[in-house]
Amino acid sequence: MSVVAFLTRAKDVLGGSGEPVGSCDEETPLLDEGKSCDFGGGGSGEDGAGHLLDVKKLRVCFRVRGKEVRAVEDVSFSLGTGKILALVGESGSGKSVSALALAGLLSENAVVSGEVYYRGRDVLGMSGRALCHLRGREIAYIFQEPCASLNPVLTVGFQIAESVRRHFPHVRDVKARVASALGEVGLGVVWERVVDAYPHELSGGMLQRAMIAMALVCEPQLLVADEPTTALDVTVQKRILELIMKLRERRRMAVLLITHNFGIAAACADEIAVMRNGRVVEKGTAREVLFAPRDAYTRLLVACVPRLKNRPVAQ
Ligand SMILES: Nc1ncnc2c1ncn2[C@@H]1O[C@H](COP(=O)(O)OP(=O)(O)O)[C@@H](O)[C@H]1O
Ligand SMILES: [Mg+2]
């Protein structure tokens, strides 16, 4: 298969040309290209070695009923500013555990070793206070199920504002900042409704956008998106992925995109790391991994990307 054919196929997995699709709440523009949402701050984001994030020989075990069970072993990868690295692999391969370990978010029964450097700073050796600053302010997470990540008894606006208050106590006009973040994720027209809504009152696509707004409101340099679209229908999925790609361009934000869907990785990522049984079995640029996979498991995953050769031709 040619390079163009593969990429066309991968784009098709995301739904094609980028025309507006979905219900009315999904039709607001993704980003207003004329406006930026610059809250100040930021920085070059890269350490001396040129990487925003360096993970070396990460190992995670869980203590379960007196025994240690290995979940992640010898995982190493790097991520540069403004780049998208896709962590791909089947369910249970250790993608989420690896991602959560980056900011000390694993449960108390986890035993983590190896090295994680964010802008050259040793994350695994950080104090709880330093980790709290890192999370949200520098590294933000979005998860597969927004409903599971949001508190059902608090309004969406309150929860986004809480992030701002926590990390930027000096900011006076928190509401303006929340509105601006919602505008950036394409909810500008309906921001007042979103702010006052409880999570169950919004559609899946709107909720996922609100989650992204919550992640972005503190201007993180690294966004960890753990299966951010798996729970959404394909049209909304496409728009959310496009939004993430546009935001990384606009903000030069790095994205660790976790997915079990190789098609999504093919369409979005600069680099791909393939995980299996807690280990990275292959990594490289998206082009290398997609067109010259060295590992048999990767070849299997690449072969699973749906073929759209027999698409119906428009009449
Ligand atoms: N808190 C935990 N305690 C024990 N085992 C866990 C815990 N969290 C995850 N695991 C195990 O770690 C392995 C990797 O899980 P995970 O990273 O969530 O996989 P995925 O690639 O689907 O994201 C799985 O076998 C999972 O059961
Ligand atoms: Mg997972």
Mean pLDDT throughout 261-282? 94
Q: Is the CB of 65 under 6 A from ligand 1?
A: no
> How sure is the predictor about 50, in pLDDT bands with cuts at 50, 70 and 90?
low
Q: Which residues constitute the domain of residue 16?
A: 3-303
**DSSP 8-state code for residue 24:** G
Spatial separation of the C-alpha atoms in residues 36 and 245, rounded to whole Å: 15
Q: Is the CB of 71 under 6 A from ligand 1?
A: yes
Q: What DSSP assignment string belongs to 167-193? A: H-TT-S-HHHHHHHHHHHTT-STTHHH
Which residues, listed in sequence order, are joined to residue 280 by a DSSP beta bridge?
Answer: 275
pLDDT surpasses 70 at 129: yes
3-class DSSP assignment, residue 280: strand
The answer to whether position 236 is within a domain reads yes
Residue at 312 is within a domain = no
Mean pLDDT across 39-53: 52
Ligand 1 atom at shortest distance from the alpha carbon of 64: 4
Decide: helix, strand or coil at residue 64: strand
> pLDDT band at residue 194, thresholds of 50, 70 and 90?
very high
User: Which three-class secondary structure state does DSSP give residue 223?
Assistant: strand
262 inside domain: yes
Confidence check: pLDDT of 40 > 60: no
144 pocket-lining for ligand 1 (C-beta < 6 Å): no
Ligand nearest to the CA of 100: 1
Is residue 314 in some structural domain?
Answer: no
Q: What is the mean pLDDT of residues 120-143?
A: 91
**Ligand 1: does its nearest atom lie under 6 Å from the Cβ of 260?**
no
Atom of ligand 1 nearest to the CA of 275: 21
Can you give the C-alpha Rg of the chain in angstroms?
19
Task: Read off the pLDDT of each residue in 17-44 and give the average, rounded to a whole number.
Answer: 32
Distance 261 CA to ligand 2 centre (A): 12
Over residues 302-313, the pLDDT tens digits come to: 888 776 555 555
Domain membership flag for residue 35? yes
What pLDDT shows up at residue 276? 96
Whether 107 is in the pocket of ligand 1, judged by its Cβ within 6 Å, is yes
313 within domain boundaries: no
User: 3-class secondary structure for 131-149?
Assistant: HHHHHHHCEEEECCCHHHH
The per-residue pLDDT for 307 is: 65
H or E, element range at 289: helix 286-291
Residue in the structure block whose two tokens are 């490289």: 284
Q: Which is the closest atom of ligand 1 to the Cα of 227?
A: 23
Count of C-beta atoms within a 10 Å radius of residue 78: 18
User: Are β-strands 271-276 and 84-89 bridged in parallel, bridged antiparallel, or unpaired?
Assistant: parallel
Atom of ligand 1 nearest to the CA of 99: 17
Residue with the larger pLDDT of the pair 24 and 254: 254
| Residue 50's CATH number | 3.40.50.300
Q: How far apart are CA 176 and CA 61, in angstroms?
A: 43
Cβ–ligand 1 distance for 259 under 6 Å, the answer: no
DSSP letter at 257?
Answer: E
Average pLDDT, the chain: 82
The yes-or-no verdict on residue 38 having pLDDT over 60 is no
107 CA closest ligand 1 atom index: 1
The answer to the question of residue 160 being in a domain is yes
Q: pTM above 0.85?
A: no
Segment 155-164, tens digit of pLDDT: 999 999 999 9
229 has pLDDT over 80: yes
Total structural domains within the chain: 1
**What one-character DSSP code corresponds to residue 22?**
S
Q: Would you state the pLDDT for residue 26?
A: 36
Give 291 Cα–ligand 1 centroid separation in angstroms.
Answer: 30
94 close to ligand 1 (CB < 6 Angstrom): yes
Task: Assess if residue 215 is contained within a domain.
Answer: yes
CA 81 / ligand 2 centre spacing (Å): 24
The whole-number average pLDDT for the span 43-71 is 82
Mean pLDDT, rounded, for 226-233: 85
Q: How far apart are CA 139 and CA 29, in angstroms?
A: 26
